[in-house]
Amino acid sequence: MSTNPNTAKSLRVQIKNIKSGRYLSVEGDDNNWKRDDASLTIRDSLGLAAVSSPQVWTILQYRPNSYILINQYSGSLACIRARSQGNGATAIQYHSELVYAPEPFQQWNFTQLKNKNWLIGNQNSGKFIGPQARETGNDHYCIQWDDQTAEDSYQEWEFSEI
């Protein structure tokens, strides 16, 4: 059963891509998982404990309808590379630009669709993340794009509380 990411001030979750069945993760292995600018990817479950997994995210409400996604392993925030507002920009993790005051490119909103799946939207760009080129295999990086839910489910996600 999917968890509603908009219901709590703080929530620890795994985020599963609907089309691929893989989880939002940080690229590479534990040598890379704490690196600023590491890309966000989709990957099969690593089966690691929540405290040591790059696939576990803490959702914190920042403002009404504005949230930050903190990677449980690295403590870095999910964001869009170079503050881009363009289609195709890569989702990455990066340290908070300001203590307790993330910039809009590090803030997200969650929109529930009629089918009960979720879109993850960047506050700065107004675009939604999904695997690049609609790929479904392990380690494909995530990008932002205009809403394409009319075409397929690659931008749709499910949140499972940990």
**pTM attached to this predicted model:** 0.95
Which of residues 101 and 61 earns the better pLDDT score? Answer: 61
pLDDT reading at 18 higher than 80? yes
Average pLDDT, the chain: 94
pLDDT reading at 2 higher than 90? no
Half-sphere exposure of 145 (CA within 13 A, CB side): 16
- The closest of 109, 31, 24, 118 to 72, measured between CA atoms, is 24
pLDDT reading at 64 higher than 70? yes
Q: Tokens at residue 44, please?
A: 């099969």
Beta-bridge partner residues of 115: none
pLDDT reading at 8 higher than 80? no
Query: 62's torsion region: left (phi>0), alpha (psi -120 to 50) or beta?
Result: alpha
9 pLDDT band (50/70/90 cuts)? Answer: confident
65-91: pLDDT as tens digits: 999 999 999 999 999 999 999 999 999
- Determine how many CB atoms are found less than 10 A away from the CB of residue 59: 25
Specify the CATH class of 10-161 in words: mainly beta
100 pLDDT band (50/70/90 cuts)? Answer: low
In contact, 160 and 2? CB cutoff 8 Å: yes
User: Which position has the token pair 């870095």?
Assistant: 76
Which of residues 51 and 47 earns the better pLDDT score? Answer: 47
pLDDT at position 102:
78
pLDDT at position 98:
61
